[in-house]
Amino acid sequence: MRKVMDFLEGIYLVVKTWVKTTQWMRVIKITVCSAVTVLLIFLMAAMLFAETGSFTVKFIPGEDDGDVAISLSETPDFSDPTVMLDADGSVNMTNISGDWLPAGLDGVDGSHNGENYIAYTFYAKNTGDDACVLKEEFKIESSVKGADEAIRIRVYKNGKAETYAKISAEGTPEYGTTPFASETVAYSDTTESFAKGQTNKYTLVIWLEGDDPECLDNIKGGNVKMSMNFTVEEIPKE
């Protein structure tokens, strides 16, 4: 009888251990599933960050443009003209000094990003039948965690460079820069007579300036969405 009781007790312990193991396996499975879910959410957030870190260049036609129009291209021969260009954004950008930027950034077509900076060269051409008024505007579409406070935008237009930045906290221009035109417009310019067939060359270079007093730890993880927009108008006939 004792042997039978020992045998039954042994079976009870095995069953009890199996039940506990099964319960732990369920806990482990739930934990793993939760970890995978968190990882997927993180990856989705990373993809969204990558997407909002880019910028576009586009021609916005008006309702009364008449016979005036422009085309955009990444190459001077306009082998693939378009009205919208997508530049490759830099996701993992950290602050640098503008003095570290390499020379010759205006000499490479298309996207040519480097370590911790965005560089993009393109062309705008008057493909209409007449000369026109060409207006261009570099916009800050959105900014997360105040990342635009320390950003620098260098615009090369037909070889001439100008660097733009937000006004400093003291209300004065940041060293070596031209202040943004407004809170949401970094740069704007107008060509009063953009001749038929005329081409402008642009290179945009963007980085976070480490020497900017507003370049603090609280902008880590931030991003900026930007666009450069072109519009045209007919030249009034006298």
**Residue 225 to residues 85, 147, 193: CA-CA distances in angstroms?**
15, 10, 30
Q: Is 11 helix (H, G, I), strand (E, B) or coil?
A: helix
Q: What is the predicted pLDDT for the residue at 157? A: 97
Over 147-200, what HEC string results?
HHHCEEEEEEECCEEEEEECCCCCCCCCCCCEECCCCCEEEEEEEEEECCCCEE
Is the same domain home to 75 and 185?
yes
Is the same domain home to 88 and 161?
yes
- CB-based contacts of 142: which residues, under 8 Å, 6+ apart? 52, 224, 225
Is the same domain home to 96 and 213?
yes
Contact 154, 100 (CB under 8 A): no
* Burial label, 224 (beta-carbon count in 10 A; 0-12, 13-18, 19+): buried
Is the same domain home to 85 and 25?
no
Is the same domain home to 36 and 150?
no
Q: Which of 37, 52, 67 is the last residue of a domain?
A: 52
User: Strand runs (DSSP E) across the chain, as ranges?
Assistant: 55-59, 70-73, 84-87, 110-111, 118-126, 132-144, 151-157, 160-165, 178-179, 185-194, 199-208, 223-234
Is the same domain home to 138 and 223?
yes
Residue 21 belongs to domain spanning: 1-52
Domain count of the fold of the chain: 2
Is the same domain home to 83 and 166?
yes
Is the same domain home to 116 and 127?
yes
**Residue 198 to residues 123, 126, 195: CA-CA distances in angstroms?**
10, 6, 5
Q: What is the predicted pLDDT for the residue at 16? A: 44
Q: What is the predicted pLDDT for the residue at 211? A: 61
Residue 222 is encoded by which pair of tokens? Answer: 């931030």
Alpha carbon distance 171, 176 (integer Å): 15
Is the same domain home to 71 and 115?
yes
Q: What is the predicted pLDDT for the residue at 215? A: 55
Place of tokens 């020497």: 211
Which residue(s) pair with 171 in the sheet?
Answer: none
Is the same domain home to 69 and 133?
yes
Is the same domain home to 230 and 114?
yes
Q: What is the predicted pLDDT for the residue at 5? A: 43
Averaged over successive runs of 10 residues, the pLDDT of the chain (238 residues) comes to: 43 41 38 32 30 66 73 96 86 79 96 91 94 94 78 94 91 92 94 95 89 58 84 84
Is the same domain home to 44 and 79?
no
Q: What is the predicted pLDDT for the residue at 115? A: 87
